[in-house]
Amino acid sequence: MSDTSFDVVVIGGGPGGYVCAIRAAQLGLKVACVEKRGALGGTCLNVGCIPSKALLTASHHYEAAGHEMGAFGVKVGKLDLDLAAMMGHKDKVVADNTKGIEFLFKKNKVTYIVGAGSIPAAGKVAVGDTVYDAKAIVIATGSDVTPLPGVEIDEEVIVSSTGALALPKVPKSMVVIGGGVIGLELGTVWRRLGTQVTVVEYLDKILPFNDAEVSKQMQRILGKQGMAFKLGTKVTKAVKKGHHVTLTLEPAAGGEAEEIKADVVLVAIGRRPYTEGLGLDKVGVAINPRGFVEVDGHFRTSVGGIYAIGDVVGGAMLAHKAEEEGVALAELLAGQHGHVNYDAIPSVVYTWPEVASVGKTEDQLKAEGIAYKAGKFPFTANGRARSMNESEGFVKVLADAASDRILGAHIIGANAGDLIAELVLAMEFSAAAEDVARTSHAHPGLGEAVKEACLAVDGRALHI
């Protein structure tokens, strides 16, 4: 096989693409990965999940030092913010991670091709003037920021998530358009650093895809922390004047308009599939009306030998979902039996407290006519949470009324993103709430709240 001929060529070096490439190489296939950014890891690693978590952690430490340490007998003197150093920490985390993926490519003998890839024909990938032959082509080009008509992003005063990760100074005020995961996480970062943050959400609740009780409780908690909300509201216009923006707002259901001014506006209304420049229309790859690449249950597109995974195919637009698809596809291409259980994909909001969920919400179960039992346990009754001064939130477990099989779980609380893993594993093995309830959990630990919620499904929680 020549230097321009491969078993698999992956277009896109994000979580789905690079993981697919590594797994395919582990299985003995000759693999290349094409990435135009010049740094592997995609949006997630470069301008998404990783840098945002670096800033969330750093800003959490800043807020804790200023407002929370006294309760533990730790006295803190005059508090100063070195924003440049905080951004430096973020940038170092990103750089170290991208270099780590390059190392993994070398270790697994994946050919890394820097440039924009396109598909001139089935079995062909063009990068610049070079055309590569591929038995299988994997489209893993991810997603991009969804624009909002009337609000033009300049990444200075009207920013996307990318610009919100690199503001040169702490703004006095920020309007976040969109009450989903990205808006709340980045809004949280800047609120902790001193910005007055107002969230404008078109729907009547934040975190609209989460369990309704979780959304309501999280709005209350974030409100106590100082975040303001305008729900059921749409933004119709943005006017920049110097270093400020004036937004025109209207009730989503119709009514009188109002104006609100801010130093920075963050547009965070979602993401859309990125297929620009791939030439999919010319080669005949089917795209659905929302712009997503259409695939079957084995990630095959409408053109033989061309596959797609991750955000570009829709579903949960999450890095770990893309990774699971990347692994499954690599195994299928190697003649194995890759599979993704879409009912057991967790979702986490890394505010503080964190929000984590997996499976069905109560509203979904009701809409589907599924009889269920709910078990709920508050962190106020968990000894470890109280010792940490982290008693906000709860664990809720939803189980089938007849079989007791866990159908969904929802957590607000400290380290919720880690606690949910136990319930994801339980769902992967079709466990009953009783199985988790009878599993010994270390004391004192936050995980005991998970056990107690499962006990509560049967009405026998011990500590409340």
As annotated, the active-site residues are 443
Nearest to 145 by CA among 317, 302, 303: 317
Peptide bond into 353 cis (omega under 30): yes
SS3 readout for 229-244 = EEECEEEEEEEEECCE
Give residues with Cβ within 8 angstroms of 101, minimum separation 6. 13, 18, 40, 41, 45
Nearest 5°: the CA angle 240, 243, 248 is 35
Give the C-alpha separation, 147 to 268, whole Å: 9
Query: Which tokens go with 166?
Result: 């690199």
Pairing of strands 196-201, 173-177: parallel
Strands of 155-278 (E only): list them.
158-159, 173-177, 196-201, 228-231, 233-241, 244-251, 258-262, 264-267, 271-273
Residue 390: which of 46, 72, 102, 24 has the closest Cα? 72
Kindly give, in sequence order, each residue whose CB lies less than 8 Å from that of residue 76, ignoring residues fewer than 6 positions away: 65, 66, 69, 70
CA distance 141 to 125: 14
Using CA atoms, how far residue 313 sits from 91, 147, 290, 301, 316, in Å, is 30, 19, 10, 10, 9
Tally Cβ neighbours within 10 Å of residue 10.
36
C-alpha distance across the termini of the chain, in Å: 66
